[in-house]
Amino acid sequence: MTAATAVTAGAAATSSVSPALELRGIVKRFPGVLANDHIDLSVERGEIRALLGENGAGKTTLMRVLYGLYPPDAGEIQLAGQTQHFRSPTDAIEAGLGMVHQHFMLFPSLTVAENIVYGREPRRWGFIDRRTAARQVAALAERYGLEVDPGARVADLSVGLRQRVEILKTLYRDAQVLILDEPTAVLTPQERQGLFRVLRELAGQGKTVIFITHKLQEVMEIADRATVLRNGRVEATVRIADSSPTELCRYMVGRDVLPDPIRTPKSAGDPVLTVADLVVLDNAGRRVVDGVSFEVRAGEIVGLAGVAGNGQSELVAAIAGLRSATAGRVMLSQQDANTTSIAARRRAGLAYIPEDRNRVGLALAASVADNLIMADQRNSSRTPRLSKRGVLSRAGIERYATDLIERFDIKVASTREAVGNLSGGNRQKVVAARELAQEPIVLIAEQPTQGVDVGAAESIHRDLLAVRDAGRAVLLSSAESSEILSLCDRILVMFEGRIVGELSAEAVGADPAAEATLGLLAAGGAT
């Protein structure tokens, strides 16, 4: 801590002008939670600052206070030495702040230029002057090296390009301080490099960048300094050149993190999940899964890699029975599962950790206990104590829920607490605990550590390996290539609805450029 303080003081001493952004003693309280506890943060002009922290550390709250979404209970915000009182994001934007949200706020049916100038359109005779708008946007893109076609419709753009549009939107409004909330979560490795180039360019031209993330590697790569939050306080501010991922991680978690568990070589058994020539249409009728075939055998983890939106979600939904397949077959333990209901697939040993835990995997308003017994309330053969002839056993449910909370180390006040009150990591643990407790023959894990802090991700990875080592099968769909590379026995890469490549763990282990190969395949390049 002393070293960290020294760094801040040193940085302040070297610059005679006011920092681009300064927060002093920010306090934000929610009922029962002190989300921000006297946070001080000072960011220089032209600096790229990483804001690190586990879920619930207070990053999001701090950024919302900064962006005018929450009024702080105490503390002061200064931009370039001027004290600010933001009452809405409009005030914050006016003062030169720009936020790129995790979920993009764009109109898909409008063009790039229209999205960028929206709310501040150049006008001519009272009408929107499209030509000037396009010219301004092109000039802006040119100046910061953000190539994008101003006339293209946003709906036709890739995720990486949409993100550029978001960044341009803030620049168009003359933002001096850009806040990016987990900007790399949806990008391919190549797109990520492109984003980093842009951020360096922006910093070089005097803009200030605040980069919120979970990923330590990215912090090491892009940031000048990192501020780590824990339990609502600033744990440390460090210069990246003098730090290491291990140190940052220790500040985040408050202890040393165990190394990734070792995946012991193991020979796989019989195929327990077979997918043959599967075709799935999306809601608009496009063939988003276009004749996919593969098997997952007992005792192996098969990874499904690829950039989001290449059919993985629909493929997984079709296997789980949430979406119907137009052609092809899904077999569980060599039994045809095509025509069977979701309940029947679950009885046949399928469990599923869905991508969207808040909208699919949980009922946020319901209690932890109610969320933990879903799918088991009917399965009286396996958990006879939860219900008897259709009547729920309160004591049995309480015992079962308490047991799972303990086994999976879920942090809750009681089994009756609403799941919506939990942090993202604990919500995911509720989903994982429920699905793993089924002792599935096949477990589908979809983005199981997305938006989950390091500690929770670590325990979910261990759980997935334990399922595999118990001789059961896992299909892991993840956009996180490091997760795929460290856990999987085999990796299938999806691109535009097809499987375009398969890599084995042995091949990957021997290849230091494995991640690049994966990224190339995922982007549609040939091996």
Partner 1 sequence: MSRFRKGAALWGSLTAPAITAPIFAVLGALMLGALLMLATGHDPLAAYRAMLEGALGGRQLANLMATLARATPIVGMGLAIAVALRGGYLNLGGEGQLVLGGLASALVALYTPLPGWLLLPASLIAGALAGGAWALLAAGLDRWCRVPLLIGTLLLNYPARYLASYLVNHPLRDVASGMSQTHRVPEAVELPRLIAGTRLHIGALIVLALVLAAAWIVRRTRVGYELRMTGLNPSFARYGGVDTVRLGFGAMMLSGGIAGLVGAMEVLGTHHRFIDNALTGPLYAWTGLMAALLAGSSPLGVLAAGLFFAAVHTGGFGMERGAQVPRELSRVLQALMILLIAARGQLLTPRRGGSTAAAGKAGAT
Residues at the contact surface with partner 1, assessed by CB under 8 A: 30, 64, 68-70, 88-89, 101, 103-108, 154-155, 162, 320, 322, 341-343, 346, 352, 354, 359-366, 370, 373-375, 377-378, 387, 390-392, 394
Alpha carbon distance 185, 483 (integer Å): 13
Q: How far apart are alpha carbons 286 and 381 in whole angstroms?
A: 41
Cα distances (angstroms) measured from residue 32 to each of 65, 205, 405: 18, 43, 21
Residues β-bridged to residue 27: 74
- Closest approach, Cβ 521 to partner 1, in A, equals 25
Shortest spacing between CB 338 and partner 1, in angstroms = 17
When the beta carbons of 69 and 138 are compared against partner 1, the nearer one is 69
Contact 459, 429 (CB under 8 A): yes
The answer to whether the beta carbons of residues 480 and 307 sit under 8 Å apart is: no
Shortest gap between Cβ of 69 and partner 1 (angstroms)?
5
Shortest distance, position 28 Cβ to partner 1, whole Å: 10
Instruction: In angstroms, give the least distance from the CB of 45 to partner 1.
Output: 27
CB of 41 vs partner 1, minimal distance in Å:
21
Nearer to partner 1 by Cβ, of 165 and 219: the residue is 165
**Least distance in Å: CB of 380 to partner 1?**
9
Q: Which residues contact 255 (CB under 8 A, 6 or more apart)?
A: none
Q: How many angstroms separate the CA atoms of 19 and 177, rounded?
A: 11
C-alpha 156/C-alpha 251 separation (Å) is 41
Burial (CB count <10 Å: 0-12, 13-18, 19+), residue 173: middle
- At 277 the three-state DSSP class reads strand
Torsion of CA 339, 341, 345, 348, to 10 degrees: -80
Output 333 or 377, the one with its CB closest to partner 1.
377
Instruction: Pick the closer one to partner 1 by CB: 18 or 402.
Output: 402
- Cα–Cα distance for residue pair 199/216, rounded to 1 Å: 17
Ordered DSSP codes for 39-58: EEEEE-TT-EEEEEE-TTSS
Nearer to partner 1, 172 or 352 (CB): 352
Q: Which is nearer to partner 1, 65 or 521 (CB)?
A: 65
User: 156 or 270, CB closer to partner 1?
Assistant: 156
Distance of closest approach, residue 276 Cβ to partner 1, in angstroms: 24
Residue among 87 and 255 whose Cβ is closer to partner 1: 87
Residue for token digits 């679950």?
Answer: 346
465 — phi, psi (to 5°)?
Answer: -65, -35
Residue 409 DSSP SS3: coil
